[in-house]
Structure 1
Amino acid sequence: MKRKQIMKSKINRLTIHLVVLFFFINCKSQQLTERQQKSNGEREIAFKEYLVKNKIPFKELSDTIFDTYYSGFLDDEKKQKLEKNQNLKINKVYVRYRTPYSVEFSIYSDKGTLCLSTIDLDIDGKMLSFPENGVIKVLKPIIVEDFGDFEIFDDVIKTRKRRVSPYNEIYHYVNGTVKKDTIHFTEKYIGKEMKFEKKMFAKTYKDDFIEVYQPNLKAVQYKTGKFLVSYEVTGEFNIQR
């Protein structure tokens, strides 16, 4: 009799625990659903505002409207977010000295892509002039193309470059900080494809190089495909001091 009472007591306690657990899960699920509904509602409002701002006629948010214009809405959101950052110069040209006589051009686009010059830029009087009065001129337009992407929060920037081989695809990260007209890169590692995160067990290595914004280099953006962005760069820049 006593054993039955003990078993009954245990079953009752287990039942209570299960009921409490079910109630907790149900509440969490309901809260998540409410947050998702609120988020979706806010996204729809923002999307409608985008359509109105761009004078795109619509009566309701049909599948056709979403399929046709939603990607443009996302691009516009990203562009506004990047342009609000007070540190990084978007769609402008940064210069890095790879050697005392060779440079690389970098552009951080309003689409979140990292664009780099596609050829060696030697200061030899061919593509770039010899220095004169502290200035180097671009003698022929230089193409700067999509090589990866980037992410920036306040003054911290993470860049990600794709390296493709016949056997695999590797994502090299180089990270640093932005201050005024200078980006100082200080670390690198192998990271993930979808998220701006380091791969598990990947080692972090020190790095140390600087890119400097050059306002007298002018970049004209053009598309080389549905999603890819490139630039043509002309103008001049100051020599490294």
Structure 2
Amino acid sequence: MLAVITAAFAPSAALLAFFYLKDEFENEPLITVARCFFFGCLLVFPVMFIQFAFDEEGLLQSPFLTAFVQTALTEEFFKWFLVYFTVFHHIHFNERYDGIVYACAVALGFATVENIFYLISSGVEYAFLRALLPVSSHALFGVVMGYYLGKAKFSRNRKKTMAAFALFIPVLLHGIYNYIILTQNYWTYAVIPFMIFLWVFALRKVKQANRMQAKHYSKNP
């Protein structure tokens, strides 16, 4: 069991540290980041209950609905809801990049517990593949969500639009990822280019968030 927990936690810790240290200005308090991670861990249970209910009732039969509604919308909505209603108005959310840190922490908390359950049922030998694909993808969805929440936080005229983007775009990306897995016989040939795209897209958001913050400081020294 210790090996499973270690294998599940290690990639999440590495990814969270990576994006945490990408903040070029002011690192967030570790206790606040840890709380977001912990709350993300707890999110797995209501999400699993809802997804189990969908399966039991047979409400979503098509791969498209399963990918985009049962999985992507359910998981990303709960993450978005948690970040928006717990840390969005927090005193430490005071820079554009902060949304990335907090949303990524929530996403990786979720991914860690989900990963533990998967490795318990399927075996720790899948830990490396899980780190490369599901865990990394959750982190990248969190980065994109946090980027738009950061824009929403400091936008004068487009708060609601940016907050909506913070949910819609991760749902879209997550849905595409799941749809590839569900529908392609040789899904690795499609998911690997998509993961490369996700990394490039997310890292651009990281740079843009830091650039916006630098511009803000240059105008308000």
- TM-score range for the pair, normalised by the shorter chain length: under 0.3
Identify the structure with bigger relative contact order (alpha carbons < 8 Å, sequence gap 6+). 2
Higher helix share: 2
TM-score (norm 2): 0.25
